[in-house]
Amino acid sequence: HWSVDNYGNGRTPVLGAIIAAFQGHHSAPWTIADRAFCNNVHKLCIPFGIPTILAINFLFNPATSLFFSIFCAMEVMSQEFHKWSHMSKEKVPPLVNVLQDAGVLIGRKAHTLHHVSPFDGNYCIVSGATNDWLDDSGVLRMLEHRVYQTNGVESNAWKLDPALRERTLAGNYGPPV
């Protein structure tokens, strides 16, 4: 969710509602835990829901269609997985605790690291398995640099942390030393 945290706003075509929800979530992260399933996932059904899956099924062979159908379904469910990382162990189904403890789904402690300003790391909200690699490799900082070089748009993380902006523009993409 690096892109929706850092670029666009509520007026962005197609993804605006999702962008606004992700960016707004940083100011009130606990509210996600109180949402019913449909209220939590409905915004993701616009770009990843039934019309997209139907289009994929008409455009691609069965194996590719299956892959993208599962991808779209998991993209919608990612918001529910994310919600569970904000809930206490007592409030989620027992299987969720098992999956979080095993690292299959993102756990509470790991996801809490993302909710620290300037919200510049730990973006993976499904399992968190690639968070360390993404943060340590600097690949997302490098992408921010490329976006800025291409169109002059600064990431929101840069706006919250001028030192991050300066490090990135200097080509220092890894974590600060």
At how many degrees (to 10) do helices 62-84 and 50-59 cross? 160
**Per-block mean pLDDT, blocks of 10 residues, the chain (177 long):** 92 89 87 92 84 85 90 90 94 96 92 90 89 94 97 96 96 90
Residues 144, 3 contacting (CB under 8 angstroms):
no
Helix spans in the chain (H)? 2-6, 16-25, 37-41, 45-48, 50-59, 62-84, 94-101, 108-112, 131-137, 139-151, 156-160, 162-169
pTM: 0.81
Token pair 């996600």 in the structure block, residue? 32
